[in-house]
Chains A and B, each alone.
Chain A
Amino acid sequence: MTDTTGKQIPTAAPALRAHPPAVSAARARRWGAFFYAEQVLRVMRGYSWSFIMYSIAQPAAYLFAMGVGLATLVDANGAAAFGGVSYLQFIAPALIVSAAVMTASGDFSYPIMDGFKWRRVFYGPHASPLEPQQIAAGHVLATVLKFLVQSVAYFVIVALFGGSPGGWGWMSAIVATVAGLSFGLPLMAYSSSITKDSGQFALVQRFIVVPLFLFSGTFFPLESLPLAVRWIGWISPVWHGTELGRVFTYGMEENPVLTVVHVVFLLATAASGWVLTRRQFVKRMGQ
């Protein structure tokens, strides 16, 4: 506004104006997944205290029980069975990976059902410029961040206990994150396909997560299991992640081909899980 002499008259407060819809759409197309990740992180913030406790207290308890208690017994009987390392060093990468997979089993199941069915939280952003696949991606991004924080915290505690002698041990936190996705994204695809809750997630927990945790070379080498159950390890993100983690934390000797197999397995399962998830979100929300 100007007065008669053409001078600017100061206005009380600048009017609040949203940018034009075209700008909203362009920004959403580009950054939509991050916008949704922000929402998930804000919700997670409400649980930060229990998350911190979980991320510190649980590793500490496990490491103390297994790495100190059980290890005293195991190590006294000779370390040869574990490739010449202490029992603590042997199980540490397995615990880091298992923790990420456990978190994945929670974060890629119930919240997805919540988003589609219980409280229908996905449908709010869906009415905004966000696309279904961006909502899925945002959930994944926020969860990846959670895996990373949790895995790094776990690794730091492991290192404090002397569980990671090599210089590449921190890579086990990255491996754990990828293992979390390797298990989590196929689970997310499944969760997003469920229309009726009849206790499927409890079954997943009991008959998939727990066996994977127990029979994936977590507490003892996979080779010590009979062949009849050894296959569980071969198809388990926990085993592939754990073995890879061992290569990094204490330089476990392994056929390089097998190391490549671990990487390929983890990435391939995560990628195919993502493709299915994306398809399912687009299909279900576009009806």
Chain B
Amino acid sequence: MNPDAVIRADMLRKEYGDVTAVDGISFEVPPGESFGLLGPNGAGKSTTMKMIGGVSRRTSGTLDIMGLDPDENGPEVRAHLGVVPQQDNLDEELRVRENLIVYGRYFGLPLSYLRPKADELLEFAQLTDKAKSRVDALSGGMKRRLTIARSLINEPKILLLDEPTTGLDPQARHILWDRLFRLKEQGVTLILTTHYMDEAEQLCDRLIVVDKGRIMAEGSPSSLIRDHSTREVLELRFGSERNATIGAELVGIGERLETLPDRVLIYADDGEAALEQVSARGLHPLTSLVRRSSLEDVFLRLTGRSLID
């Protein structure tokens, strides 16, 4: 057990009626770490986040945030946190800057602190010129950045981000990642859920792969890839009709074979060599691609399913 851990969960469970959303998960997060929960929709990531965030009571298990039990000390736990929910819930009827100030008031922060702080955060979120705009006039990426700025109004040491970049275009995602990096550099502990493997690889020091409410694997992105996949992956496309049938003819190439509806994946440490073996067998895919293994492959390996259906 890590005595410094800011979050400690042990056999955490959450049931909604007959449905078990979180099925006994345990983890610890030391201060300053960037910790991810990776899994498909419905894996129990958001439910776990809600329990950590002190807004959803757990069914059983123990949970400790900064030495406090969120079910007993909800306000005290939440006072430590910044929360970026999956769905933006900004005050659309208030102006951009006022959103930050009003939110700070919930923490009992005085206006003498909030006014300059709001300006500082708008600068950080690159929204200074939008300070007086209505929220409903902002783009999706701007709203997301405003939500992040709002979550920082109380200078939290722990930031919870539930699917921070879902629904954003690539450029908006990169801006957001950059901002999150800066927070990480400032020593903020980041807890984030995502079903994007590139996001997890970019942002997480360590992550747990979650499926059906359970932890399938735990480790740094690179160690997970090392432990559960090969160095490279050869992706072959034979046309949607033939992928399944041709799979049988590829047996023996690489360490492992995965047949998906749209492509065949061959796991091998040397992708090019594997491709040569494919050609040697007289098979000619429509397209072929050699790439490095990713967390997507880890997930596929562990669950037999893709992250994004």
A17 within 8 A of B: yes
Report A220 CB to chain B, min CB distance, Å: 41
Decide if A42 touches B109 in the complex (CB within 8 Å).
no
CB-CB contacts of A35-67 with B at 8 A, as 1s and 0s? 110110011001000000000000000000000
Cβ–Cβ contact B98 & A25, under 8 A: no
Partner of A125, one of B53, B93, B106, B113: B106
Complex contacts, A121 vs chain B, CB 8 Å? 89, 91
Known: A27-B107, A130-B106. A22 touches B16 (CB 8 A): no
Q: B108: which of A24, A39, A131 is its contact (CB, 8 Å)?
A: A24
Contacts of A93 in B (CB 8 A): none
A23, B79: Cα distance in complex, Å? 9
Which A residue sits closest to B50, measured CB to CB? A287
Which of A22, A24, A29, A286 makes the CB contact (< 8 A) with B109?
A: A24
CA distance A287 to B16 in the complex (A): 8
Q: How far is the CA of A230 from the CA of B213 in the complex (A)?
A: 58
A23 to B55, CA, bound (A): 20
Name which residue of chain A comes closest to B80, CB basis.
Answer: A21
CA distance A162 to B106 in the complex (A): 45
Name 11 extra pairs, CB < 8 A, besides A21-B80, A28-B106.
Answer: A18-B109, A28-B75, A32-B106, A39-B102, A42-B98, A42-B102, A119-B89, A121-B91, A127-B55, A127-B81, A128-B78
Interface size class of B (residues with CB under 8 A): 35 or more
Tell me which of B55, B108, B116 contacts A126 (CB under 8 A). Answer: B55
CA gap between A22 and B105 in the complex, in Å = 15
Question: If A21-B154, A27-B107, A39-B102 touch, does A120 touch B87 (CB 8 Å cutoff)?
Answer: yes
Total chain A interface residues with beta-carbon distance under 8 A: 37
Query: Is the CB–CB distance between B113 and A18 below 8 Å?
Result: yes
A260 to B108 alpha-carbon distance, docked (Å):
41
Most chain A beta carbons < 10 A, residue from B76, B83, B103, B106: B106
B76 touches which of A25, A43, A126 (Cβ 8 Å): A25
User: What is the CB-to-nearest-CB distance from B260 to chain A, in angstroms, rounded to a whole number?
Assistant: 36
Within 8 A of A (CB), among B83-137: 83, 85, 87, 89-94, 98, 102-103, 105-109, 113, 116-117, 120
Asked if residues B89 and A124 are in contact (CB atoms below 8 Å), the reply is: yes
6 A-B pairs whose Cβ atoms sit less than 8 Å apart in the complex: A25-B75, A39-B105, A43-B93, A43-B94, A286-B55, A287-B56
Interface residues of A in 248-287 (CB under 8 A from B): 285-287
User: 8 tightest A-B contacts by CB?
Assistant: A27-B108, A128-B106, A21-B79, A127-B83, A24-B79, A129-B75, A24-B107, A25-B79
Q: What A residues does B56 contact at CB under 8 A?
A: 286-287
Roughly how many angstroms separate A111 CA and B49 CA in the complex, as a whole number?
A: 27
Residues in B with CB closer than 8 Å to A128 are: 78-79, 103, 106-107, 154
Interface: A19 (CB within 8 A): yes
The reply to whether A38 and B105 contact each other, CB–CB distance below 8 Å, is yes
B198 at the interface (CB under 8 A from A): no
> Nearest Cβ in chain A — how far from B266, in angstroms?
45
Is A35 a contact partner of B106 (Cβ separation < 8 A)? yes
A-side contacts of B109, CB under 8 Å: 18-19, 24
A129 CB contact (under 8 Å) in B78, B85, B120: B78
In the assembled complex, A168 has its CB within 8 A of some CB on chain B? no
Known A120-B87, A127-B83, A286-B57; contact A22-B76, beta-carbon cutoff 8 A: yes
Using CB atoms, name the residue of chain B closest to A39.
B102
User: Is A231 at the interface (CB under 8 A from chain B)?
Assistant: no
Chain B: which residue is nearest A286 at the CB level? B57
How many angstroms from the CA of A271 to the CA of B106 in the assembled complex? 26
Q: What residue of chain A has the Cβ atom nearest to residue B117's Cβ?
A: A16
Residues in chain A near residue B31, CB distance under 8 A: none
Could you tell me the distance between the alpha carbons of A27 and B78 in the complex, rounded to whole angstroms? Answer: 13
Task: Check if B10 is an interface residue, CB within 8 A of chain A.
Answer: no
Contact with B75, one of A19, A29, A119 (Cβ below 8 angstroms): A29
Q: Mark B137-178, 1 if CB is under 8 A from A, else 0.
A: 000000000000010011100000000000000000000000
Are A43 and B91 in touch, CB under 8 angstroms? yes
What is the minimal beta-carbon distance from A18 to any residue of chain B, in angstroms?
Answer: 4
Q: Is the C-beta of B24 less than 8 angstroms from some C-beta in chain A?
A: no
Q: Which residues of chain A are within 8 angstroms of B219 by Cβ–Cβ distance?
A: none
In this complex, what residue of A is CB-closest to B154? A18
Interface string of B266-283 (1 = CB under 8 A from A): 000000000000000000
